[in-house]
Amino acid sequence: MYGRDRVLVTGGAGFVGSHLCERLLERGAEVVCVDNFFTGARGNLMPILDHPRFEVIRHDVTFPLYLEVDAIYNLACPASPVHYQHDPVQTTKTSVHGAINMLGLAKRTRAKILQASTSEVYGDPEVHPQPESYWGRVNPIGPRSCYDEGKRCAETLFFDYHRQHGLRIKVARIFNTYGPRMHPDDGRVVSNFIVQALRGAPLTIYGDGSQTRSFCYVDDLVDGLMRLMDSDDTVTGPVNLGNPGEFTMRQLAELVIELTGSASRITHLPLPQDDPRQRQPDIRQAGEKLGWAPTVPLREGLERTIAYFDALLGHERMAAE
Ligand code: NAD
Ligand code: UDP
């Protein structure tokens, strides 16, 4: 669909964004990556930095941006609780001012715009699995609120720009996604467990480990995001994108220990405040409207991710010697 269309990816130097930039280049788009490198890294862009149709701009989306583009993927925002709670005011600004600035850009250029929203809009849900029609149960004043409420407000802005200005919008509610290029110190559970197992350190389960998450491999997610962007203008979302395979954190820890062959043990740390008890996407809409379903089971995705971290930590070990 894009041909030589110019596509902007905000947060393009991050984990998901770097995979997305790569896939868009593969299919012939001109790609502009905008990132302030808060959690992203130039290293994630190594395979494409010299690509003739690729450009990187260091910029913070809380400030206005003037570019000519045909489509915008708005991914800029730290996604790990550790990082989004580091400077919570900046997190809300990134979601809210960032959305306003990118929607303004879309309005001026008449570009299509996709928002990377999150399963966090459902908070600690009483409805299980979570369909898009569920309004969620979010604490508005807790430590996760800067992210959850910021993303909820961004969804509001997207739908108001759609209703008020006729913008072509797409809202994806992304469930826990993992894969190569997560930062080793990202702090999210999959990268934490893998890095701990490979270093022979104890795997840190928060709480008793009975809380659940549903993990989607990054290639599947990127495929879903691109299908959503390509869909008919009547498809605005919100659409859940995630893998319905649901696991407790204890099961995940045991699987990582098995697949790495590590001698690591499990240790328990306090459960963070407002940590959701359970999460599983209802993905019927993504199936019906986008013909999308995830294809990579957790075991296989973990094997690929472990291979990535094994190589990365191997280089670190060599550099230290
Ligand atoms: P990430 O932290 O690896 O990437 C986020 C990127 O945004 C980084 O490159 C960071 O430097 C950049 N960024 C942050 N603030 C910025 C700002 N003010 N201006 C410009 N750039 C900024 O996280 P990710 O996992 O790749 O997540 C990408 C997007 O997907 C985020 O919006 C996140 O909320 C959403 N999401 C991800 C998941 C997941 O499990 N990976 C789940 C739900 C939603
Ligand atoms: N978690 C854990 N050990 C870790 C990191 C996270 O047990 O080292 C738990 C965390 O408490 C949560 C789940 O794993 O219940 C997923 O956490 P993550 O930060 O990856 O994502 P989110 O809570 O935003 O879904």
* Cα–Cα distance list, 23 to 31, 183, 209 (Å): 10, 20, 35
Q: Which ligand is nearest to the CA of 79?
A: 1
Do the beta carbons of residue 154 and residue 115 sit within 8 Å? yes
* pLDDT tens digits for range 192-201: 999 999 999 9
CA–centroid distance, 55 to ligand 1, in Å, is 18
Show pLDDT as tens, one digit a residue, over the chain (321 residues).
Answer: 444 799 999 999 999 999 999 999 999 999 999 999 999 999 999 999 999 999 999 999 999 999 999 999 999 999 999 999 999 999 999 999 999 999 999 999 999 999 999 999 999 999 999 999 999 999 999 999 999 999 999 999 999 999 999 999 999 999 999 999 999 999 999 999 999 999 999 999 999 999 999 999 999 999 999 999 999 999 999 999 999 999 999 999 999 999 999 999 999 999 999 999 999 999 999 999 999 999 999 999 999 999 999 999 987 776 766
Residue-level pLDDT at 66: 96
Give pLDDT, residue 109: 97
| Measured torsion, CA atoms of residues 179, 237, 244, 220, in degrees rounded to the nearest 10 | -30
The alpha-helical segments, DSSP class H, found in the chain are: 15-26, 81-84, 88-109, 145-165, 189-199, 218-230, 249-260, 284-290, 298-320
Ligand 1, atom 2, residue with closest C-alpha: 78
* List 73, 84, 122, 147, catalytic entry: 147
Q: How many other β-carbons are positioned within 10 Å of the β-carbon of residue 164?
A: 9
To which residue do tokens 């994108």 refer? 241
Neighbours of 135 (CB within 10 A): 11
Instruction: Give 255 Cα–ligand 2 centroid separation in angstroms.
Output: 15
Q: Which atom of ligand 1 is nearest to the CA of 37?
A: 11
From the CA of 176, give the closest atom in ligand 2.
Answer: 25
Residue 1's pLDDT is 45
Residue 310 CB neighbours (<10 A): 12
Question: Would you say the pTM of this structure is higher than 0.75?
Answer: yes
CA of residue 13 to ligand 1 center, whole Å? 9
Query: What per-residue confidence (pLDDT) applies to 4?
Result: 77
Pairing outcome for strands 216-217 and 177-178? parallel
Q: Residue 72's closest CA among 159, 26, 5, 4?
A: 5
Rounded Cα gap, residues 132 and 115, in angstroms: 15
Nearest atom in ligand 2 to 193's CA: 8
**Among all ligands shown, which has an atom nearest to the Cα of 15?**
1
Domains with residue ranges and CATH for the chain: 6-181+217-244+279-295 (3.40.50.720)
Q: How far is the CA of 76 from the centre of ligand 2 (A)?
A: 21
Pocket test for ligand 2, best of 206, 216, 266, 305 (most atoms within 8 A of CB): 206
- How many DSSP H helices and E strands does the chain contain? 9, 13
73 part of the active site: no
Q: Which of 36, 47, 34, 42 is nearest to 8 (CA)?
A: 34
pLDDT digits (tens, 9 = 90+) for 169-215: 999 999 999 999 999 999 999 999 999 999 999 999 999 999 999 99
